Structure 1
Amino acid sequence: MPNVPKWMADLMETALSSKMPVFEVVGADWISPEIRSVVFKGDLQKLKLMPGYAVSFRVSPTAFRNYTPAFIDPQENIFQILAHIHGKGPGARFFADLSLGQQIPVSMARGRKIQEAAAQYFLFGDESTVGLACILQAHFQQLGKHFSTLLHLGQSQNDLPAALGLGSYELVQREAESDNKSSMVSAPGFTILDAAVMPKWNDAQFILAGNGLYIQRIKKELLGLGIDRRRIHAEPYWVPGKTGL
């Protein structure tokens, strides 16, 4: 969500207070120098969380940001966010500064339900989508489906997938200088993006999340390889140079 004037953010928070239950921070740990795990405890029934849905936090007086839980436990009334802490944006500062015991309003969950009819699923993402990768891995494995994550990460994040317990994944390193130059963006070199192997995955579902510029390139590549666009679920989390999505 883009930034809004403070008076409007105050009004939204007051008007939607019944839909923004308060949760307590009960866990806060660094998984890596850029990924922080924060666990919230409260009345989960009020959020109506589903795997892949996002919740919203007011991260500054004028900004709201969406985050997808990495873990949900209805019995314990907790959920976990894996926040990518990078730069000096309001979302990064908010999650970097959270401490145990803080009381945080959280918006009701929203999103699009991912269809579950396919036998295989592939998630393309980056540091901003590792929480989505964790929760979808658990969800689809529980359904007996094949799930793999295609991760496009910075060069200091090689150990991150294993630290998060991701099983089937492929990691392609991202060149730092290409992050903010759309003219240089091309589809990462994942082995699956090959005409020789793609027929094996014709019936798979592809979930594209994270950097909107890379999502465009990956989607174009998949369509060019013969994947039906109905099997491509795109959800950009951010775009270089744009504030909030």
Structure 2
Amino acid sequence: MARVPRFLADYTQRRGFTTTVVSAERPSPGLLRVTFAGEDLRTREFSPCDVTAFRVAANDFRHYTPETPDPDAGTATVLFHDHGRHDAPGLRLIESLEPGAELDWCGLASARGFRWTSPRSALVMGDASTLGLMAAMAGRAEAEGSRLLAVTEVHEPDAEYVRKLLPDAVVLLSAEEEGAALDAWLVGTPAKEEIRRLAPEAVYLAGHGGSIQRQRQALRTLHGLDRRTIRTQPYWATGKTGL
């Protein structure tokens, strides 16, 4: 993730808003959920693809998607993936948060090419780093009466919880290679039948950058989806300083 000059990081943080940590919990071994509270969370409009940035160093930020905003209560949760690399600046920050701690949210918006457009049917695919995004999409799709198919790959210790979090999702067990479980699902008969029935107006691919490229190709060549319906948002890449 690109670093920015310190003066620009300072400016970005000043334009944000301050929240207070209400709670921090671990619903399963590889997931962390933090609940934030703040007056700005009462007035902000949330969209499922929105991201905020947390400052993790003098010139560095990490971006995350709110999971469950509650404007009436002035709270929002963020679901983080504990990828086990505890030297990563994002995870180091999140694990340090305790109730009462303050944290600035630096912006809240969707990327231009990765927005929720209220499709009548949508497909979202990704790894454990995208579970907050999927939960946000599932909530919005239900509220709008849309059909959503979420397909994710997670490590086995987290699978039971993820199936409760996303009861209508296809939950696959991660293989050694990133994205391999999703790749295998895409070439199988169940995927062909489910995607055909869904006829997605929009497809959202997020998470591991290399996996997204393979999934996009498979959706176009094996499933005949129009490239214009596919939106992508890489969260991390192999070999780079991660979340």
State TM-score, norm by structure 2.
Answer: 0.86
Q: Is the contact between residue 123 and residue 200 of structure 2 (CA under 8 Å) also seen in structure 1?
A: no
Find the counterpart in structure 2 of residue 39 from structure 1: 35
Find the counterpart in structure 1 of residue 175 from structure 2: 175
Greater shift, 166-175 or 50-59, is seen at 166-175
Q: CA deviation at 1:237?
A: 0.9
Where do residues 117-132 of structure 1 align in structure 2 (5 Å cutoff)?
118-132=119-133
Q: CA deviation at 1:167?
A: 2.2
List alignment gaps of at least 5 residues for structure 1.
none
Q: CA deviation at 1:107?
A: 0.8
SS at match of 1:152: strand
1:62, 1:212 → 2: CA distance?
23
AA at the equivalent of 1:106 = W
Q: Is the contact between residue 185 and residue 214 of structure 1 (CA under 8 Å) also seen in structure 2?
A: no
Pairing 1:75–2:72 present: yes
Alpha carbons of structure 1 residues 195 and 62: separation in structure 2 relative to 1, 3 Å = same
Provide, for residues 106-127 of structure 1, a one-character-per-residue CA deviation record: whole Å limited to 9, x for no partner: 11112142222x3221110111
**Of 176, 191, 198, the match for 1:201:** 198
List alignment gaps of at least 5 residues for structure 2.
none
SS at match of 1:188: helix
1:192, 1:168 → 2: CA distance?
18
Aligned-residue identity in percent: 26
Richer in helix (by share): 2
Find the counterpart in structure 2 of residue 94 from structure 1: 93
AA at the equivalent of 2:147 = H
Find the counterpart in structure 1 of residue 240 from structure 2: 242
Q: Is the contact between residue 46 and residue 108 of structure 1 (CA under 8 Å) also seen in structure 2?
A: no
- Please list every run of at least 4 consecutive aligned residues from structure 1 whose deviation after the TM superposition is greater than 4 angstroms: 45-48, 190-198
2:24, 2:94 → 1: CA distance?
9
Q: CA deviation at 1:62?
A: 4.1
Greater shift, 221-230 or 203-212, is seen at 203-212
Q: CA deviation at 1:2?
A: 2.4
Find the counterpart in structure 1 of residue 104 from structure 2: 105
1:186, 1:75 → 2: CA distance?
37
Where do residues 151-230 of structure 1 align in structure 2 (5 Å cutoff)?
151-164=152-165, 166-176=166-176, 178-179=177-178, 187-190=183-186, 191=188, 194-195=191-192, 198-224=195-221, 225-230=223-228
SS at match of 1:115: coil
Provide, for residues 161-194 of structure 1, a one-character-per-residue CA deviation record: whole Å limited to 9, x for no partner: 1342x12111222222x23xx9x89823245775
1:193, 1:207 → 2: CA distance?
19
2:26, 2:238 → 1: CA distance?
25
Find the counterpart in structure 1 of residue 63 from structure 2: 66
State TM-score, norm by structure 1.
Answer: 0.86
Find the counterpart in structure 1 of residue 17 from structure 2: 21
Aligned residues: 235
1:111, 1:219 → 2: CA distance?
20
SS at match of 1:159: helix
